[in-house]
Structure 1
Amino acid sequence: MTPASLPTDICLNGLIIRPGERVLTRLVISKLPSGTVIDVPVHVFRSTVPGPTVLLLAGMHGDEVNGIETIRRLVRRNLLQPLRGTIIAIPILNIYGFLNFSREVPDGKDVNRSFPGHPRGSLASRVAHRFMREIMPLVDCGIDFHTGGAARSNMPQVRCLLGHPDTDALARAFAAPFTLHAALRPGSLREAAFQQQKTIIVYEAGESLRLDEAGIDMAIAGTFRVLHHLAMVAEAAPPAWPSIVCLRHTWLRAKFAGLFRSHVQNGDFLAKGQVYGSVADPYGEGAVRLEAPVSGYVIGLNHMPVVNQGDALLHMGLVDEAEAARIARNPPFNEKPGRREETEDMDEVD
């Protein structure tokens, strides 16, 4: 990666920030109906040595607290002291959602589908526009921290558009347990950054409104590996295992409504045809055994026991048949492939 040349001073939110300075500034977004000002705290850590500017962003969705806690710990423990370049750390972008335990802003819109935004658009669009105006021009690359949605947990994973040298390098450096090739979504921060030739990778771990200590630890370790890759920190711990790259992934959805019981956990490997759970009639009249239609890893799991037809149950990172046979002989995360639990009342259906 060839970092953009940094001026001697940078300007953010009307402030001149000089090399070697550490600054906390607040971007005023709007006001609540009560008149309370809503602002976004932004930490800036600058070295005296020129280098890239790295963005660490969390709280795009206000209920996704793992990324917020990740950046909070990095700031609180005074770990963001770059040897060169600049680190911009934003623990919470969507203050509205954070205050309301919500993914969206009060108008119901998703900030991460509102980029690049507009100064006279919806509230989500205004948040996105302010970010693009103040922060994005300074950034060379970054990490956007997310979690699964309500009652859905994600195995720690990086999502990015593979096949681009800068993106591939950041994903390899982060070395999450899984790396997913993910197309750019319209209105997302990744798409807006890509259009400006900036590199943003997304880290996902855990579920909304619930802290996941293992996922947070991996987030901190992966962030340090990215900073080490960019020569911004002196050392970083190596990953516990090589990242598994999934070029394809899919959700397995409920064909029947009822009570869902999962027989697997995040990180388990499932062979094609293997039972991964059941959907039972709530009145005790029977249950349907669920079999995996493809081979792959469980990288996302629905914990909601009551499901309707079409609800997402499992997110799977896919592998080909030859790789599936090899993994079945030597699973990397578990002593054996996904745990099989069968009961007498299960019926086989197509």
Structure 2
Amino acid sequence: MTTSIEKWGDVHVEAGTSRNVFLDVGETYSGITVRIPVHVRRGDEDGPVIFVTAAVHGDEVNGTGAIRQLIRDPDLDLSRGAVIFVPVVNPLAFDRHSRYMPDRRDLNRCFPGRRSGSLASRLAHTIFSEIVHRSDAGIDLHTAAVRRTNYPTVRGDLSVDGVRELAEAFGTEVILDKQGPDGSFRREACNVGCPTISLEAGEVWKVEPAITTLASRGVLRVLEHFDMLDTPAKRPSAPRRPPIPVTSDDTTWVRADAGGFLSFHIRPGDVVREGQALATSTTLLGDEVEEEGDVLSPTDGIVIGMSTLPAAHPGTPICHIAKLPPGITADLIERRRARHGELQEQIRTELAANIRVEEDT
């Protein structure tokens, strides 16, 4: 990349130090300058520069919680390289508890942006110039959209040099091999030579303990993989990896065929089999909707996303399933989880806390 990690306007970040810097990214309606807080931490020696960002969508704050946890960790000492922590990329949306910019644009469709473009495009241009162009790799933290929750899944274009290495080092149980939409942060960063992955995990407007733990540990595993952390005596303990990584390039959204009130039979992260009942649609008086009542899984897979809203009309997305790749079976995943899946079980339990799950009858 072309921009120095040391100089940020009038602020200099020397090797072996950490500094907070503030990027001017726009103005409010009243003309007050809007700034993004950034924490830059450098090791004593040169090495990779990795950015970790959150709240590109202003209501997705699980990643904000994880980054704050990492910044506040007194034992996170870098031996080489640098990390750029950006807890909130989109302050204009964050202040409104909104996914979108005040101009109603989705910032995650506006990269790399333009200096003289729309409000969202100008913010995207600043982020790209000041963060991506200083970095060798990136991790962008997201959650599900409103009224949904996501089981932790890393997404990345595995055909791009460095992305598979980054995704596998992060260590989620599920990796989706996806390019990403035009204008999305990770896709456009990859296009300029900065391999970038995104994590999708949890719900909007929340800082969920198991999700922030998983996200912060994933970042630490990446830093460890690139030999950026200090001596083992000082290094934060990185947990063992998930019991079995599942890499999928094929997902499907299962939708309701009838209107009604849903009784869910699965949790986020559950392994499902073809023909398994995912939910049952009932009337408001509790009677099962005839013929189209049961919503069935079309494939073997892992539930990576779910609606948290039980009221459905025809076409409502109920759950997002990552299909299992060749050689990976539902039985194999369940056996491995039974032996080594403690954190995954904690995550599935916490994510289902706001969903009533009933036994399939």
Q: TM-score, normalised by structure 1?
A: 0.89
Structure 1 residue 292 corresponds to structure 2 residue 310? no
Aligned to 1:147: 143
Q: Judging changes above 3 Å, is the alpha-carbon distance between structure 1 residues 127 and 5 closer, same or farther for their aligned structure 2 residues? A: closer
CA distance, structure 2, for counterparts of residue 322 and residue 81 of structure 1: 40
Query: CA 1:17–1:325 in 2, change beyond 3 Å: closer, same or farther?
Result: closer
- In the comparison of the two structures, how many residue pairs are matched? 337
Inter-partner Cα distance in structure 1 for 2:244 and 2:161: 19
Hey, what's the Cα distance between the residues in 2 that align with 1:171 and 1:323? Answer: 19
C-alpha contact (below 8 Å) 2:160/2:190 kept by paired residues? no
Q: Residue 33 of structure 2 corresponds to which residue in structure 1?
A: 37
Q: 2:306 matched to which residue of 1?
A: 301
> What are the Cα deviations for residues 17-51 of structure 1, in whole angstroms up to 9, with x where unaligned?
32223111111112212333211001111122010
- In the alignment, what sits opposite 2:256? 254
* Residue equivalent to 2:324: 319
Aligned to 2:98: 102
Q: Which residue of 2 aligns with 1:264?
A: 266
Q: Deviations over 1:205-231 (max 9, x none)?
A: 111012221111111111111000010
**Which string of whole-angstrom CA distances, capped at 9 and with x for unpartnered residues, describes residues 154-182 of structure 1?**
11111111134411111111111211111
Give the Cα–Cα distance (whole angstroms) in 2 for the partners of residues 55 and 168 of structure 1. Answer: 17
Residue 282, structure 1, aligned to residue 256, structure 2: no
Q: How far does the alpha carbon of each residue in 1:58-111 deviate from its partner, in whole angstroms, 9 at most, with x for none?
A: 111111110000001111223543110111100001111111110111111111
- Equivalent pair of 1:6/1:51 in contact (CA under 8 Å): no
Partner of 1:205: 201
* Residues 256, 210 of structure 1: alpha-carbon distance in 2 compared, 3 angstrom cutoff: same
- After superposition, give the CA deviation of every residue in 1:326-345 in whole Å (9 maximum; x if it has no partner): 4487373699xxx87345xx
1:212-231 to 2 correspondence within 5 Å?
212-231=208-227
User: Does 1:332 pair with 2:337?
Assistant: yes
The 1-side partners of 2:217 and 2:280 are apart by: 36
Contact 2:171 2:242 (8 Å CA) reproduced? no
CA deviations 1:134-163 (Å, max 9, x no partner) are 222110001100011112111111111113
Aligned partners of 1:76, 1:102: CA distance in 2, in Å? 26
Give the conservation status (yes or no) of the 8 Å contact 1:85–1:232: yes
28-37 or 130-139, which moves further after superposition?
Answer: 28-37
Contact kept? 1:45, 1:80, Cα under 8 Å: no
Aligned equivalents of 1:320, 1:86: Cα separation in 2: 36
Q: Is the 8 A contact 2:246 2:324 kept in 1?
A: no
SS in 2 for 1:332: helix
Q: Judge conservation of contact 2:2–2:133 (CA < 8 Å) in 1.
A: no
Equivalent in 154, 171, 181 of residue 185 of structure 1? 181
Contact 2:114 2:122 in 1 (8 A): yes
Q: For the residues of structure 2 that align with 1:326 and 1:285, how far apart are their CA atoms?
A: 34
Shift of 1:6: 8.8
Alpha-carbon separation, structure 2, partners of 1:19 and 1:290: 57
Letter of the structure 2 residue corresponding to residue 36 of structure 1: I
CA contact (8 A) 1:295 1:320 kept: no
More displaced stretch, 202-211 vs 9-18: 9-18
Amino acid at match of 2:359: E
Q: 2:303 is paired with a residue of what secondary structure?
A: strand
Letter in 2 for 1:57: T
Q: Evaluate the alpha carbon distance shift between residue 323 and residue 195 of structure 1 in structure 2; reply closer, same or farther with a 3 A threshold.
A: closer
Q: 1:26 maps to what in 2?
A: 22
Counterpart amino acid of residue 268 in structure 2: N
1:242 alignment partner in structure 2: 244
Equivalence for 2:359: 341
1:50 is paired with a residue of what secondary structure? strand
Aligned pair 1:126/2:128, yes or no? Answer: no
Question: What is the deviation of 1:10?
Answer: 2.6
Task: Work out which of the residue numbers 169, 189, 192 in structure 2 matches 1:173.
Answer: 169
Contact kept, 8 Å, 2:244 with 2:333, in 1: the verdict is no
After superposition, the CA RMSD in angstroms is: 2.4
Q: After superposition, what is the alpha-carbon deviation per residue over 1:268-299, rounded to whole angstroms, capped at 9, x for unaligned?
A: 11110111111222254532011111111111
